[in-house]
Amino acid sequence: MLFTSCFDLVEEIDMKADGSGSIKATLNLSKSKTKVASLMKMKSVNGLTIPSQATIKSETATIIKILQSTPGISRVNHTLDFTNFIATISCDFTSVTALNSFTKTLAQHFKSPLGNNHSYSYNNKSLTFGRQYTYASSMSKEFSKLSQNDRKLFDDAFYTQIVRFDKSVKSQNNPTAKLSATKKAVLLKIKATDLISGKASVANNIVLQN
């Protein structure tokens, strides 16, 4: 469905000083809900299989079971809105190790390269929260296989991440990211095409105030 409609992917992380926290991932296709609703009545488009509601529910149930059995992950919840086409998955994590397991599980299930080229780190002594990221050229190669019309649909697609902290942020080094007025949250919003082409990066190093 991502290859047939514009979308927004939003990731919200709430970090505590001890390295634990919660994460919520939201996939929002509401901007194209009329088109998505029409597509879901079909079995395939341009060779791309269109999943039914039953298939989506089954796949989601599988992901939830995997996350529920992942060490350090608890309170796994999800929502599926087939009217506005918005899906969410959220959970609590005990450490960044568990947070990395969460993101890797989702990436592997959806066969996304982000599972192998991105990870989080947190040092509670230096109060530094980091996101390591290496651009995967395979994203651009797969994107180039789409028709020009399908590629154009990504012009209105965005990836957004919001990371909130208990303490104020002293510094962060992603040029695209912005610090909130309270200085306790960092917002990163990137066009999907810039992320796919490698023009933008999700890497960041955030240092908190003592």
Greatest CA span in the chain, whole angstroms? 56
Residue 3: inside a domain, yes or no?
no
Structure-model confidence comparison of residues 111 and 70, the more confident one: 70
Ranges 44-48, 115-119, 181-185: which has the least confidence:
44-48
pTM of this prediction exceeds 0.85:
yes
- Within-domain flag for 79: yes
User: Is residue 39, in this structure, part of any structural domain at all?
Assistant: yes
What percent of the chain shows pLDDT beyond 90?
62
Is residue 1 one of the residues assigned to a domain?
A: no
Structure tokens given for 142: 């797969």
Rounded CA separation 6/11 (Å): 17
pLDDT of 71 over the 90 cut: yes
Residue 14 lies in a domain: yes
Work out the average pLDDT over 171-195.
96
With contact defined as beta carbons under 8 Å apart, do 53 and 12 qualify? no
* pLDDT for 185: 98
- For residues 40, 25, 98, 112, the Cα torsion angle rounded to the nearest 10 degrees is 50
Residue 46 has pLDDT above 70, yes or no: no
Closest CA to 83 of 34, 143, 116, 118: 34
How far CA 162 is from CA of 15, 32, 50, 90, 111, in Å, comes to 11, 23, 30, 14, 23
Domain count, the chain: 1
**pLDDT tens for residues 108-142?**
776 665 556 889 999 999 999 999 999 988 888 88
Domain coverage including residue 192: 8-208
Would you state the pLDDT for residue 11? Answer: 94
